[in-house]
Amino acid sequence: MKRSEGVDHLNMVSWTGHAIAGDCHIPSAWDEGGKIAQGILAKLRFPPQSYNYAVIFSDPEIDMLRPFGDAIASALSTEITPSIPSTSAILSTAPSTSVTLSTAPFTDSGNPSTETTAAPDDDDDIEDQGDGIPFEDTLDEVPELALPSGRGIDPNDYISVEGKWVHKQRICRVVINADFEPKSTERLKRVRGHTKVNAKKRDDVNPEAILGANTFIVCDPFFMLLRTDQTLSLAVVRSTAIHEDGISRGSILAPTIRNPGAKVKLSGQVLGLTMIPTLNDNLPQSDSAQARPRPPFHEDLRSPDWISEERSPWSWIFNGRFLKVDSVISGTRQTTEKVVIVSIPGVLTELVNHHPVDAVPRLGERAYEINSEGRSWELDDGSMGAVCELLWDVVIKEKIALTSIASVKKTADFPYAFDNDSSFTHIINSILIVYVGEPALICQDGTQQLIQQHENKVQRVCHLCGERPSNWRAHISTHILRSIRGLKEALRMPVGTSLPCGFCASSGKPECEVHIRKKGPTTHVETNCAMVSAFNYKPAEQGSKTTPCRNVPVVCKLCFPDVPRPGASQRAQWRYNMPEHLSTAHPEYSSPLNPGGTRLPHEVWESMKVEPMEELALGIPEASIPAVFEDVAGAGRRDRQGECSWKEAGKEDRAWGQPTEKGGSVNGSLAF
């Protein structure tokens, strides 16, 4: 079902297809929500009896609008609010203004025998009358607004707002949805849940909007990955701007942020965090977090994968600082500190679920540098590790180049370090030296790729054999083909045993997944392999005498039989891996590793076949070259004769694998 104003979600005609509802246990959901509410009210220091739901809701006749009777809450006064008078209240009339004053004997010092009667003068103030009439009772009584009445109307359900009676249900709806305009096609907004008592259709009630928990606004924090030199680490950023498809927003729905189609970009300031032991504010603290030393390195703190830790004994607290770097003042040699502003696509972010804490036991007197109350918020270290893994999975899934991730200079505040107190900066001979503790929130896989890419720019040494090849793809593919043919090589590390990557020869790495995207006559290869090397697809697919290797990514026509739409990306397999791919993904078809099935389509075979001349040129012995595969549908006799005559036709081309003066075969290992 689509979300559109022309769809009535309560009309069965609008529902098409199959609707599947998940399992929902209402009592469990009610209990869980009650526990969350009790935790919030306890932190706000409400009296326990005001959220003792077991007692409050033990009465099946409880009124949800007045759980404590006519009182608003158990902790508040039980007096009847003037704006919500009780129907049983009886208005008393004002007392009579006539007062009889008692007389008493009065003895004058000058004439003790004289008796006088005390009487107030006309000019005396009313206060001089002693126990007389209160001043309020002398004012004219203001007539009260008549209570709503009628069949089905409970006066206690209404509140007086600017001279009108407004139902509590409506006030809640208007407060929560102040900026929402109901559509005429939405049935739930057309049905009134209470009896209308005012003559006008709409009241001018403009309460301040209250944002729901599913809304992300400017100044909310979020997680992202940041580069510093050859390190990829997690950062917590406070948002300063939200842009959706180039349009600035003050707030946005949380699910929209990570929707690639929404084109959301977040900008913000990197926050400073300090690592502290996790404290429980609900328990008496015998010692503060600042008195307990922080771990100097991560091996003693958590497991390498980060996710296996159920709960870390450490947390990260916002210390009130922001990441700053030195910026040169234009036209001068002087520098000034500027707060770093970073931008990131919304798809590469995760929202922060932090909780407020008292920072004084955690940071000591430094807590008052954050604010006058010494309040801050903290995050669990184990949860942050899981977020780091999730963001890296998104980088792999969306095939995002690491060079496109924002990069900042390394400072004492970032990357976040375990022993943060040992982080400092020092200037030696006008050179800024940064001393930091061991980085803590590091994305290990991403960091390894950055290091590898940096080394590839400086030096390109084969990690398998130690040589410096001129053609990286062809060199690695030669190792792969020799491993497939069962040849033994003295390598520093073995070639992957299943579908090895054509750039690194490893197996099972999700970042090595390869895709092909065609834009006009050009074919682009997309992968996140750390050892990726650029090459021209068409010449590499055709091969040559100088570079006979034709191991390039190809699209399996059995997986994708249809022509892709222009600019679309398709999953591909390396040519040398196609026999294994067919035997595992399409066992119903005949293939070099799985003969006897349905004849292989000719188009598929043409995209994967490896000529014997190519194998000879790559140093594969003739005895190790498999027989020509002939179980191909649509292949004519002429094609098979051409394949069978490779020994005669390729005699001259066997020189590809022979040693030459300029280079070639050395101890059976070709260097391209």
Helix (H) or strand (E) holding 211: none
- Residues 577, 596 within the same domain: yes
Give the model's pLDDT for residue 519.
84
Instruction: Encode pLDDT of 358-367 as tens digits.
Output: 888 888 888 8
DSSP-derived letter for residue 359 is S
Give the model's pLDDT for residue 388.
87
- Residues 475, 381 within the same domain: no
Residue 354 has pLDDT above 70, yes or no: yes
Among residues 185, 210, 235, which one ends one of the domains? 210
Give the model's pLDDT for residue 479.
96
DSSP-derived letter for residue 172 is H
Give the model's pLDDT for residue 297.
44
- Residues 420, 392 within the same domain: yes
**Helix, strand, coil percent values for the chain (each to nearest 5):** 25, 20, 55
Give the model's pLDDT for residue 176.
64
Q: Which residues pair with 526 in a beta bridge?
A: 515
Instruction: Encode pLDDT of 115-153 as tens digits.
Output: 444 444 444 444 444 455 665 565 555 566 677 777 667
Compute the average pLDDT of residues 642-657. Answer: 43
Among residues 168, 191, 210, which one ends one of the domains? 210
Q: Band of the pLDDT at 103, cuts 50, 70, 90?
A: very low
Output the six-digit token pair for 301: 């703190």
Of 215, 218, 320, nearest in space to 266 by CA: 218
Report the C-alpha gap between 672 and 664 in whole angstroms: 7
Q: Band of the pLDDT at 200, cuts 50, 70, 90?
A: very low
Instruction: Encode pLDDT of 552-565 as tens digits.
Output: 999 999 999 988 88
Report the C-alpha gap between 549 and 295 in whole angstroms: 51
Q: How many CB atoms lie within 10 A of CB 173?
A: 15
Quote the number of domains for the chain.
Answer: 3
Instruction: Encode pLDDT of 459-516 as tens digits.
Output: 678 989 988 888 899 999 999 999 999 999 999 999 999 999 999 999 999 889 999 9
Q: Across all residues in the chain, what is the average pLDDT?
A: 73
Query: How far from each other are the two terminal CA atoms of the chain, in whole angstroms?
Result: 57
- Residues 162, 271 within the same domain: no
Compute the average pLDDT of residues 162-180. Answer: 73
Q: Is the residue at 132 inside a domain? A: no
Output the CA torsion sign for 355, 360, 361, 364. positive
The bridge status of strand 573-574 relative to strand 665-666 is unpaired
- Residues 222, 200 within the same domain: no
Residue 400 has pLDDT above 90, yes or no: no
Report the C-alpha gap between 637 and 631 in whole angstroms: 12
Q: Band of the pLDDT at 381, cuts 50, 70, 90?
A: confident
SS3 of residue 489 by DSSP = coil
Q: Is the residue at 49 inside a domain? A: no
Q: Is the residue at 111 inside a domain? A: no
Report the C-alpha gap between 359 and 354 in whole angstroms: 14
Q: Is the residue at 626 inside a domain? A: yes
Of 186, 152, 158, 184, nearest in space to 170 by CA: 158
- Residues 599, 492 within the same domain: yes
Q: Is the residue at 167 inside a domain? A: yes
* Environment class of 123 (CB within 10 Å of its CB; exposed 0-12, middle 13-18, buried 19+): exposed
Give the model's pLDDT for residue 299.
42
Report the C-alpha gap between 493 and 630 in whole angstroms: 35
Residue matched to tokens 């404590």: 68
- Residues 331, 362 within the same domain: yes
* Environment class of 258 (CB within 10 Å of its CB; exposed 0-12, middle 13-18, buried 19+): middle
Give the model's pLDDT for residue 22.
66
Residue matched to tokens 């300090």: 274
User: CA 149, 155, 159: angle at the middle one, nearest 5?
Assistant: 120
User: Which spans in 398-510 are helix H?
Assistant: 444-458, 472-484
Residue 433 has pLDDT above 50, yes or no: no
DSSP-derived letter for residue 128 is G
Give the model's pLDDT for residue 473.
93
Q: Is the residue at 499 inside a domain? A: yes
Give the model's pLDDT for residue 587.
93
SS3 of residue 548 by DSSP = coil
SS3 of residue 377 by DSSP = strand
- Residues 257, 206 within the same domain: no
Give the model's pLDDT for residue 105.
42
Give the model's pLDDT for residue 258.
87
Residue 225 has pLDDT above 90, yes or no: yes
Q: Under a CB-based contact definition with an 8 Å cutoff, are residues 290 and 307 in contact?
A: no
Q: Band of the pLDDT at 32, cuts 50, 70, 90?
A: confident
Instruction: Encode pLDDT of 594-635 as tens digits.
Output: 988 899 999 999 999 999 999 999 999 999 999 989 889 876
Give the model's pLDDT for residue 336.
81
- Residues 183, 280 within the same domain: no
pTM recorded for the entire structure: 0.46
Give the model's pLDDT for residue 268.
94
Report the C-alpha gap between 593 and 583 in whole angstroms: 6
Q: Is the residue at 59 inside a domain? A: no
Instruction: Encode pLDDT of 134-143 as tens digits.
Output: 655 655 555 6
Output the six-digit token pair for 615: 């194998």
- Residues 369, 220 within the same domain: yes
Report the C-alpha gap between 449 and 443 in whole angstroms: 10
Compute the average pLDDT of residues 530-538. Answer: 87
Identify the residue with better confidence: 369 or 306.
369
- Residues 415, 284 within the same domain: yes
Identify the residue with better confidence: 243 or 293.
243
Q: Band of the pLDDT at 412, cuts 50, 70, 90?
A: confident
CA-to-CA separations, 201 to 152, 166, 196, 197, 198, in angstroms, rounded: 20, 12, 9, 10, 8
Compute the average pLDDT of residues 187-204. Answer: 44
Instruction: Encode pLDDT of 284-318 as tens digits.
Output: 544 555 544 444 444 444 444 444 445 567 888 89
- Residues 439, 481 within the same domain: no
Identify the residue with better confidence: 183 or 559.
559
Q: Is the residue at 4 inside a domain? A: no
Q: Band of the pLDDT at 222, cuts 50, 70, 90?
A: very high
What residue numbers bound the domain in which 547 lies? 465-670
Among residues 210, 238, 258, which one ends one of the domains? 210
Q: Band of the pLDDT at 4, cuts 50, 70, 90?
A: low
CA 311 to chain centre: 20
Identify the residue with better confidence: 638 or 539.
539
Q: Band of the pLDDT at 83, cuts 50, 70, 90?
A: very low
